[in-house]
Structure 1
Amino acid sequence: MYRYDEFDHQFVRERTNQFRNQTERRLSGALTEDEFRPLRLMNGLYLQLHAYMLRVAIPYGTLSGRQMRQLALIAEKWDKGYGHFTTRQNIQYNWIKLEDAPDILDALAEVEMHAIQTSGNCIRNVTTDHWAGAAADEIADPRPVGELLRQWSSLHPEFSFLPRKFKIAVTGAPHDRAAVKVHDIGLRLHRNDAGEIGWEVIVGGGLGRTPMVGVTVRDFLPQHELVGYLEAIMRVYNLYGRRDNKYKARIKILVHEIGAEKFKSEVEAEYARRPHPTTEVEERELARIAAYFAPPAFEKLPRWSASFEEAKLANPDFARWAKNNLGPHRVDGYAIVNISLKPEGGIPGDATADQMRVMADLAERFGNDELRVSHAQNIVLPHVKKDDLFTVWQALVKADLAAANYGLAGDIIACPGLDYCALATARSIPVAQSISRKFADSRKQDEIGKLKINISGCINACGHHHVGHIGILGLDKKGEEFYQITLGGSSAENASIGTILGPGFAGHEVADAIETILDTYLKHREPGEEFLATYRRLGAKPFKEALYATA
């Protein structure tokens, strides 16, 4: 894992001290809320419906056990005993007192964490594949590039006040688990015929009120050219991006309005304009960073583990969890453990302080001291020996962290919605809970198979409903909450934006509507066919007919 250097430590401490002074001035009345607002947002502090919310950056989703323990301490000492893990691989605390915020930032700095670039019109926290460095299908670990981009973008003088917020995602695998096609910039690693690695550069993706899938502006960019090329993209955006209308200020709108080819030509011209470009500094820095991401000293183990197989035979619950929640590791004898934060009827993404400590302990004892936050609001132990899996599962069971629903109907993504968020127009959490209870039967979930249900409480789409196989959007209609359903979305390499089925539903009707949709899928699917493939083969017609037959 990356360790802060002297500059990082000084940078974060200075920012924390600045914010302490700014907070004291706000509390004394020397700063008005309007004056204080941009200052707190630069430090990840939002004013929500009931309290302040602090959004903490977890760059490329990677945590150590020590860092997770500190997040638990913050939840216990300054919040209500829990934290909320987000689709952006961050953690949010929803009940912060303003006077405590500087102390929390100090506590984060003690473990090399901060809340910088989690808000504002800047390059936000860089995200990546939550299986990075472990996945069997990975070409190379993308996290060193994620860290390089974090350092490059932190307080970059040209990119601190962009037309709008800006999000970058990176993946090093052919199967996209980082949703790169629906980010402002998505980077996807490839290997050419000569065996060299380079990046496909995708620009102009995004969700919100105008969802779009990004376009490829370079099929293969040599790795040593990456920073210079991204600077060219950012300069074009800074120059032409709209600042008169925040709803049309994202780079996706610019790409759409001037056209992909014109945008590409502008970027290439800007890149060619660099005087005698040299990549020596970037290459040296990337090599330095990569050393911190050297793989653990894996033991030489057989692919087959007798104790693991025997435990599955003796315990059906463990066998089901192993089938659903384990991912293939690139090293024989190891597995990727996906810890679901979605118990039946629970709040997606929430973890108590005690649960965070359990996960930290498991990472330190069995997982080479690494944890990851996933885009699906779950936690990952990326490197666990198969021989240890039954012991890990037993600890998860005791902590109510052993829901065997990873990637199934119970693994619902949901934003905090109107229960917390000042921007929301409807609640997300109760809808997620009702769907979770509707599909609590493990046999039903297994019958349905792989499925992504995503819920957002407003058009800003923090729950990524546009790219859910089933997406649910909560809206306000004449003072009442109703929910629009979309089908056919995907954030993977075959990315697509879901299509609205028809009129919305009241909150208490949504779970039954989802059941009708899934019963229709089970009726029409071909052997082995997953939900998204069935929808793409048949289109919306049979689902609409089933859903609105009695309307």
Structure 2
Amino acid sequence: MYRYDQYDHQIVKERVAQYADQVRRRLSDELAEDEFRPLRLQNGLYYQRHAYMLRIAVPYGLLSSKQMRMFAHIAREHDRGYGHFTTRQNIQFNWIKLEETPEILSKLASVEMHAIQTSGNCVRNITSDEFAGIAPDEIIDPRPYAEILRQWSTFHPEFAFLPRKFKIAINGALEDRAAIQVHDIGLSVVKNEQGEIGFRVLVGGGMGRTPILGSEIRAFLPWQHVMSYIEAILRVYNQYGRRDNMYKARIKILVKALGIEEFARQVEAEWADIKDGPSTLTEEELARVASFFPAPAYEKLAAVDAAVEQFKNDNKAFSNWIKRNVKPHKMPGYAAVVLSLKKTGVPPGDATAEQLDFAAELADRYSFGELRVTHEQNLVLSDVKQSDLIRLWEDAKAHGMATPNIGLLTDMICCPGGDFCALANAKSIPIAADIAERFDNLDFQHDIGEIELNISGCINSCGHHHVGHIGILGVDKDGSEWYQVSVGGAQGNNSSIGKIIGPSFSAHQMPEVIDRILQVYLRERNEDERFIDTARRIGVAPFKEFVYATPIKIEHKTGEDAYA
């Protein structure tokens, strides 16, 4: 993984010192809150409903065991014993004291981490495929490009105050596991007819109030120009993006207003002036950065481990875990293992200090000291010997990190919602908890198969509800918390935006609503048909008809029955 050079160390050290003085001035009232707010946001510090929240950058989701142990230390010493992994592959801590934040940032700097540009109207954390470098379907490893773009965009003076926040995702495989179609810029590695490497470039994707899938602006961009071309896109956006209305300030609104053809024309005109300038990548620079991502010291192993295969046949629980949580690896005899952070009774994406420490220990023991964060809020051990899978499963199970539900109903994406976030209209975590409890039967989950259920507490869509097979959005209805449901969203190569099925529901009704949606699926599906395929084939109407056909009986805590 990338290691800081002398410039990185110096920049981060100076930023910590600068921020420490800003905190000192705020605590002594030399700075008013309105003056301090943009300064703290530049360092990833938000004020939420109850306390400060600090969001820490995890570039393209890659972590060392040392960095993970620092997260455990911060959770234990500066928070309430846990951290929350986000859909941006970052981690955030929700109970931070302002006066301790300079110390926290200093500790992060000691393990080559920071919270810079995890907030504000700038280029945010660049995300990628959690299986980058190891996926069998990978064209090239996208991480060197992600790192180059990270270095280029961090502290870029021209793009420090964009009209709105800006998100870039990059995918290097045939299958899109980085959700590039719902980002401001989505990059996908492609090869042309001559076998040359380049990028397909999408622009103007996003969720929030106006969910839009990105439009192709270039089918093939030579890799040497990826940085200058993104610079051209950002310049057009920075000049013409709206600043009079924050709800219409994202690049997707500008692309829609101009049309993709006119937007592309302006980008090409801007690019013509900088195409062969200092931002053009060289083979030497690419090789320099790529050298930080060498393949581990893999051993020559048999493609299949006989003992694991036998144990899989003898142990159903282990077999289910292998099926759901163990992913293919490009090297024979190795596998990638997803550590589930979706155990019933725990908010999705939360991990205790003890689990963070233990994940680091597992990484050292089984995966060359490296971990990945997924945008589905789980963790990945990327390089596990198949012969170690039995021991790893037993270890992970003992620490509540081996629930065999990856890709299933209870592997929900969920934002912190109204329990923490000041922007939220409704709580997300209790809805996730009620649904997980209602369907806490792994046999049933395995029977219904792959299904993505995403929950957001507000229209900002931090829970990616627009692209959930089933999406749940918290809305305010006359001061009460209600939930809007959509069906048919999806990420990946065949992304789609879900369609709302009808009027919103109360919190107590949500488990029954999900149950009715699943009943329609089980009734209508063809053999081995996934939920999303059934939903696309039959449309929203059958779900709507059945969900609203009869009043939904709910049980209040008093035990009295009520009906919608």
TM-score, normalised to structure 1, is: 0.99
Paired residue secondary structure (1:75) = helix
- Deviation at residue 313 of structure 1 after TM alignment: 2.3
Aligned partner of 1:497 in structure 2 is 497
Equivalent residues of 2:416, 2:457 under 8 A apart: yes
What is the rounded CA distance, in whole Å, between the counterparts of 1:291 and 1:491 in structure 2?
Answer: 31
- After TM superposition, list the pairs within 5 Å mapping 1:64-463 onto structure 2: 64-274=64-274, 276-277=276-277, 282-463=282-463
Contact 1:227 1:282 in 2 (8 A): no
How far apart are residue 277 of structure 1 and its match? 3.4
Q: Which segment drifts farther, 238-247 or 274-283?
A: 274-283
Moved more, 285-294 or 180-189: 285-294
- Structure 1 stretches of at least 4 aligned residues deviating more than 6 Å after TM superposition: none
Please give the alpha-carbon distance, in whole angstroms, between the structure 2 residues aligned to 1:130 and 1:464: 17
The question of whether the paired residues in 2 share the 8 Å contact of 1:53 and 1:95 is answered with: yes
> What is the CA deviation profile of residues 359-383 of structure 1, one whole-angstrom value per residue up to 9, with x for unaligned ones?
1011111101110000100001111
CA contact (8 A) 2:227 2:281 kept: no
Q: CA deviation at 1:284?
A: 2.7
- Partners of 2:441 and 2:278 in 1: how far apart? 59
Q: Distance in 1 between matches of 2:310 and 2:209?
A: 51
Contact 2:181 2:214 in 1 (8 A): yes
The offset of 1:486, in angstroms, is 0.3
Any conservation in 1 of the 2:454–2:468 contact (CA below 8 Å)?
yes
Q: TM-score if structure 2 supplies the norm length? A: 0.96
Using the TM superposition, give the Cα deviation of residue 281 of structure 1 relative to its aligned residue in structure 2, in angstroms: 5.2
| 1:274 CA drift (Å) | 2.4
Shift of 1:302: 1.1
Partner residue of 1:483? 483
For residues 328-360 of structure 1, the C-alpha deviation after alignment (integer angstroms, 9 at most, x for no partner) is 111111111011100012200000010011110
The aligned counterpart of 1:37 is 37
RMSD over equivalenced CA pairs, Å: 1.0
The aligned residue for residue 558 of structure 2 is: none
Partner of 1:61: 61
Q: Which amino acid in 2 is paired with 1:372?
A: R
State how far apart, in whole Å, the 1-side matches of 2:536 and 2:375 are. Answer: 24
* Matched-pair contact (CA < 8 Å) for 2:56–2:114: yes
* Long gaps (5+) in structure 1: none
Please give the alpha-carbon distance, in whole angstroms, between the structure 1 residues aligned to 2:436 and 2:29: 46
* Structure-1 residue corresponding to 2:18: 18
Alpha-carbon separation, structure 2, partners of 1:139 and 1:370: 22
Distance in 2, Cα, partners of 1:327 & 1:528: 20
CA contact (8 A) 1:475 1:483 kept: yes
| Deviation of 1:158 (Å) | 0.8
Query: Which SS does the other structure have where 2:92 is aligned?
Result: strand
Separation of aligned partners in 2, 1:41 and 1:314: 53
1:275–1:79: structure 2 CA closer, same or farther, 3 Å change rule? closer
Which deviates the most, 275-284 or 164-173?
Answer: 275-284
Residue identity matched to 2:35: E
Q: Distance in 2 between matches of 1:547 and 1:279?
A: 54
Cα separation, 1, equivalents of 2:122 and 2:278: 25
Q: Does the 8 Å contact 2:225/2:280 carry over to 1? A: no
Given residue 471 of structure 2, which amino acid in structure 1 is its aligned partner? G
Question: CA 1:222 to 1:275, structure 2 compared with 1: closer, same or farther past 3 Å?
Answer: closer
- The size of the alignment, in residue pairs, is 551
Where does the alignment leave 5 or more consecutive residues of structure 2 unmatched? Answer: 552-564
Cα pair distance change 1:519/1:29, threshold 3 Å = same
State the alpha-carbon separation in 2 of the partners of residues 272 and 338 from structure 1. 44
1:46 aligns with 2:46: yes
- Which string of whole-angstrom CA distances, capped at 9 and with x for unpartnered residues, describes residues 115-134 of structure 1? 00000000001010111111
1: CA distance between counterparts of 2:103 and 2:440?
41
Q: Provide the rounded CA distance (Å) in 1 between the counterparts of 2:331 and 2:299.
A: 9
